[in-house]
Structure 1
């Protein structure tokens, strides 16, 4: 099998996953639920998690906040560069069967910035207060699903966003660990 055939099969699989997950939004309750999750993923949920870290850790919270802000800035830079280099249209723009469930924050699909930031914040904040992972991991999964259910991303956009978020978070956690040892 050559590269072109493999690429076509992967794109077809990506589209099938997107169409299936987007079909879940035909239920108004499901669509409403994922709209709420997506909007909370814009920042509200993560601000609440930062507040919980501050309540739990007190003044030690300052460094965690800086790590999350630094990770967020790096993640934003990476996904903006990728979005403008790849210019992949969003699924609802290309496929008439995809129903748009929420207005996008930007023009392009690849990668999912919501997923990238959700994974990054979960790893960094979960490293600071592991007890919060019980809430953050399911929410992060719901954010990732919301992007596909709402017709905004293909599964590959979400997977790559998660991988980038995990990579950025791992770098942040390693850097934070080394800095704290040096201090």
Structure 2
């Protein structure tokens, strides 16, 4: 475990930097709104809307997103319950979470994984929206840090999980259909 101690120290220092300023309550209000856009409801609405209204790629978009989530969610659950990494506020009394997370552990960030998964799917089928979708996903990841419920590495690993799950799903769906 000594090999990850420098990463854990960096994570804690970064969280203290992000949350240790006098504007953190104001930043948390904006971050809470951004984070809510990644709760999952919009993904379902987007997927169904594209499926119903885009005759060109709607079914492929929906199939790729559905498969990507079928890949991502079990890995996310297994990782959370294997690593059992405590959330930032459990490491220091100087850190405060601005929301109550839906589960106990922090690694990986599920909001970030889902956001990057959707951004990758969106970017593949709608290249003109790729940059905006990735920026939105990055904002969701940042919001999770600024809300005090994730460390930087939780977000980075969540992003990698989402990107890779989406890429695997896209490769499969595009090869089969």
Give me the TM-score of the superposition, normalised by structure 1: 0.86
Matched, 1:75 2:77: no
**Contact conserved, 2:34 with 2:139, CA < 8 A, in 1?**
yes
SS at match of 2:55: helix
Per the alignment, in what secondary structure is the counterpart of residue 64 of structure 2?
helix
Q: Give the equivalent residue in structure 1 for 2:128.
A: 131
- CA distance in 1 between counterparts of 2:165 and 2:37 reads 21
Distance change >3 Å, CA 33–CA 55, structure 1 → 2: farther
Describe the superposition over 1:16-54 as per-residue Cα deviations: whole angstroms up to 9, x where unpaired: 112212235844331111000111110244345436645
Q: How many residues are matched?
A: 177
Root mean square deviation of aligned Cα = 2.2
Deviation string, structure 1 residues 125-145 (Cα, Å, up to 9, x no partner): 211111222431111011010
- After TM superposition, what 4+ stretches of structure 1 lie above 6 angstroms from structure 2? none
Note the 1:39-50 alignment, pairs <5 A: 39-47=36-44, 49-50=46-47
Q: Distance in 2 between matches of 1:45 and 1:24?
A: 32
1:112-135: CA deviations, max 9, x gaps?
111111111110121111122243
Corresponding position: 1:157 with 2:154: yes
Kept in 2: contact 1:53–1:128 (CA 8 A) = no
Tell me, which stretches of 5 or more residues in structure 2 are unaligned? none
Deviation at 1:82, TM superposition (A): 0.6
Any gaps of 5 or more consecutive residues in structure 1?
Answer: none
Task: Select between 30-39 and 45-54 the one with higher mean Cα deviation.
Answer: 45-54
Q: TM-score, normalised by structure 2?
A: 0.89
